[in-house]
Structure 1
């Protein structure tokens, strides 16, 4: 059965392995046309949840719809809708890059002509055309990641599940990944990305779901993340003049860094307040040499949740 919703809706998902709970109680939603980040520490249940969304693991409890289908009753339909990229390529090392894509495409029912064209197209898109006839085992970690992404896209899925897709990628490949995922989201695909590289997710994601110890603890859009309290780092020459100016305006600050790089960190409620403070410092003749958020918006949320847990 289908419910007509092309994204992902999960409610009360639970999954244990024997007596060990991996997912305790996760609510999760990923709308079509957006990139949803899945964020949490190691062991928080992210990969287990992705396997459940991909219909590769059955939940012990909860309700789930992926691309309009319930994996418990129609796993085949879900798998036709989903492109799954695990955090490693898997046991395909003896096959050539092109063979991996054509084999997977054939499993999805693509004709030999269609799959050959699609494989060539994807190899070019992930910058692996020159390695098309190289065994996967000789590719670098980053090249294998790009091949794994192409494999997930071979059947043009409506839902894309990516587990640490930026792992092993060089800076240029990370930029290309961001561009590709934003384009695919613009085409209406539902994209879920699990990653520890929160700065990357700030550039890619539209929303985020934070999980910890097998439970969903917060969901927010990037717009919401951008309006929260944020830490800013400020440096000046000399630092004493900066300290005096901050104190004179009642701005509380903490000193961070070491003998090579000292900075002051302040907590600001909005970009407007940050703009006011920078303007105020400059008008006070403080020679400001650095003024920027201490981290990305999602990192700020993650760190605040970690502080609350402590």
Structure 2
């Protein structure tokens, strides 16, 4: 019997924006922005305050109309089929507008009913989501008692109530304590593994490195595209190596014509890829260099952001 192995389906673009622009009077908030977010992936939207990130996300959510360009979300155009787009998107704004006198469960139940989900099902979904974001103890308590970080978690649960295929998360880590940020990172990865497309705007760049599959940088309303991708790729090649005998480390590397940037405790070198990194470490150890620190210099996204010196706010 012959078994036919079907080729894997190519990734499906859940969000596509081409040449999108939006002005407010004389202010060009977004100018020729282009991006693609694949289903089952997490993409970061990164840039300084005022660069147009939130305006772009509002257009993707169908809450603002672009002056120029095209947008497709789940295969639908928010300008011509806004209802379909809203049904496919879970929107988590930077700040949650809540009904302070409603309990957390009542809030989620009401949101579910707004999406025409029967009340009993909405309540069951609300209970499950409160547990998922670790707010089950607040199910019967009014939203006004929640801290800033807890309101952020309630906002995420609210965005998930109608089981959307696309998530737009605007600064979801604001107000979260360290444990909650780790839990958010794990939850976002789980949501992508379920097949959702996640676009996340955040200034917590070191944590985004472990969360995202791709990153889109914005500056002065424009997405930077290949320019920023090349900067991220270059940043990922920078490795910091520290050894107990710094002089031996430097002489060993230079003796093999390896370009090095000296630091007070060791060197920074460029290594392309995990395989080459593993081989470089093994080679150093074989030469008698007692390495006590070996790894990437830091967040590749953070390094790229800092290199974007055309805009400082």
Q: Does 1:271 align with 2:274?
A: yes
Whole-Å Cα distance in 1 between the matches of residues 190 and 18 of structure 2?
Answer: 28
Q: Which 10-residue stretch deviates more, 262-271 or 148-157?
A: 262-271
Counterpart for residue 111 of structure 2: 104
Counterpart for residue 285 of structure 2: 282
Q: Secondary structure at the match of 2:44?
A: strand
| Structure 1 gap ranges (5+) | none
User: TM-score, normalised to structure 1's length?
Assistant: 0.86
Relative to 1, partners in 2 of residues 1:309 and 1:244: Cα closer, same or farther, differing over 3 Å? farther
Aligned positions of 1:140-219 closer than 5 A: 140-218=147-225
Relative to 1, partners in 2 of residues 1:293 and 1:308: Cα closer, same or farther, differing over 3 Å? farther
Per the TM alignment, residue 308 of structure 1 is displaced from its structure 2 partner at its CA by: 9.0
Whole-Å Cα distance in 2 between the matches of residues 309 and 45 of structure 1?
Answer: 12
Q: Does 1:11 align with 2:18?
A: yes
Counterpart for residue 253 of structure 1: 260
Relative to 1, partners in 2 of residues 1:147 and 1:219: Cα closer, same or farther, differing over 3 Å? farther
Whole-Å Cα distance in 1 between the matches of residues 236 and 111 of structure 2?
Answer: 46
Post-superposition Cα deviations, 1:85-127, rounded to whole Å, max 9, x if no partner, equal 0122124334322222122222211221111111111111111
User: TM-score, normalised to structure 2's length?
Assistant: 0.85
Whole-Å Cα distance in 1 between the matches of residues 294 and 68 of structure 2?
Answer: 48
CA contact (8 A) 1:207 1:219 kept: no
- For 2:238, which of 227, 231, 237 is the aligned residue? 231
Whole-Å Cα distance in 2 between the matches of residues 308 and 266 of structure 1?
Answer: 27
Counterpart for residue 132 of structure 1: 139
Q: Does 1:82 align with 2:89?
A: yes
Q: Which 10-residue stretch deviates more, 280-289 or 44-53?
A: 280-289
Q: Which 10-residue stretch deviates more, 77-86 or 100-109?
A: 100-109
Q: Secondary structure at the match of 1:72?
A: coil
CA RMSD between the two structures? 2.8
Post-superposition Cα deviations, 1:136-193, rounded to whole Å, max 9, x if no partner, equal 2322222111111001011111211111222232333333323322232232222211
Relative to 1, partners in 2 of residues 1:67 and 1:267: Cα closer, same or farther, differing over 3 Å? same
Whole-Å Cα distance in 2 between the matches of residues 124 and 84 of structure 1?
Answer: 20
Relative to 1, partners in 2 of residues 1:135 and 1:255: Cα closer, same or farther, differing over 3 Å? farther
CA contact (8 A) 1:13 1:60 kept: yes
Whole-Å Cα distance in 2 between the matches of residues 120 and 309 of structure 1?
Answer: 44
Aligned length: 300
Per the TM alignment, residue 209 of structure 1 is displaced from its structure 2 partner at its CA by: 1.9
Whole-Å Cα distance in 2 between the matches of residues 219 and 282 of structure 1?
Answer: 37
| Structure 2 gap ranges (5+) | 1-11
Whole-Å Cα distance in 2 between the matches of residues 229 and 49 of structure 1?
Answer: 27
Whole-Å Cα distance in 1 between the matches of residues 17 and 88 of structure 2?
Answer: 16
